[in-house]
Amino acid sequence: MTLIASLPVATEELAGALVEALGASEELDFPTAATTEQPDKSWVVDIYFEEQPDEATLARLVRDVMGDATPPILVAPLPDEDWVAKSLEGLKPVRAGRFMVHGSHDRSKVQPDDVAIEIEAGEAFGTGHHGTTAGCLAEIDRLCSAREFGSILDLGTGTGVLAIAIAKAFGKRVLATDIDPVATRVTHENAVLNGVGALIDAETAEGFGNPVFAAHAPFDLIIANILAGPLIALAGDIVRHLAPDGVVVLSGLLTAQGPAVIAAYEAEGLRLERSGEMEGWLTLTLSR
């Protein structure tokens, strides 16, 4: 169950400082936070947790940034809503490299040279933040245009947008996994919708102990657009399933979370090749 704490903040600068401080907190397992401007020009910072956080630590970190302006902090379960449908409401198409990700309501905006990826509103999370989705798509375009990849893994596939991009633009087969069976079902449906159902193996798998990983490993390319905490926890498993000349693309992390994630993968023998930032979100490319 995902938990959320929503904090009112007076200014954009204060909201940004709070997101950076919380996102870099190892004590809180590097939570994801997002800012939203309100009609009165104030801001709200939403902080997401996979487990109940230590409330004293959370209060201390918020107080360090906000001081006497610290509001009451309530951590509660995230309401059960259709987050993909909400994210598509009024969402403009996401463009990155040759790719355009859009909903059915924006089909008319597809240009002749676009590799269009249509993602229908559904039950799984996966249209993603613009910065993470666009950053990964741009890096996929760069990497797959420069070299051939055999076995490819999209870890934490969500709605399958990244796997579909690889299959549609480069004709490559992709193993797309997620811990959520709804996500893998939606990924399969979206792959069929985009004409690449035969190229994407959507599998529900929690942890690398699942035999589906061994059956496809070693991977020449692993893409993981998830969260900083899981990226750090999975570093060893990801590197063990990587081919000797393989490449890892990581995203779903805030700029402030980059050093901790990079350190975890460098400790496993990888080196940072490229780091890109888009709208406060990082995309990291690493290899042996």
Same domain? For 33 and 169 the reply is: no
The model's pTM: 0.81
pLDDT of residue 96: 84
Give me the residues of the chain with pLDDT under 70, please: 1, 80-92, 120-130
Same domain? For 54 and 156 the reply is: no
pLDDT of residue 81: 56
Q: How many domains does the chain have?
A: 2
Q: Determine whether the annotation assigns residue 159 to a binding site.
A: no
Same domain? For 128 and 57 the reply is: no
The radius of gyration of the chain's CA atoms, rounded to the nearest angstrom, is 19
pLDDT of residue 121: 54
pLDDT of residue 91: 52
| Helix axes 161-170 and 130-146, enclosed angle (nearest 10) | 30
Q: Determine whether the annotation assigns residue 210 to a binding site.
A: no
Same domain? For 69 and 121 the reply is: no
Q: Nearest CA to 6 among 53, 48, 38?
A: 48
The pair of structure tokens assigned to 97 is 């490299």
Q: Determine whether the annotation assigns residue 133 to a binding site.
A: yes
Provide the CATH number for the domain around residue 113: 3.40.50.150
Same domain? For 73 and 89 the reply is: no
Q: Burial level of 271, CB count in 10 A (0-12/13-18/19+)?
A: exposed
Q: Determine whether the annotation assigns residue 178 to a binding site.
A: yes
pLDDT of residue 92: 66
pLDDT digits (tens, 9 = 90+) for 82-140: 544 554 454 567 788 889 888 777 888 888 888 999 986 554 444 444 678 889 999 99
Structural domain span for residue 145: 83-287
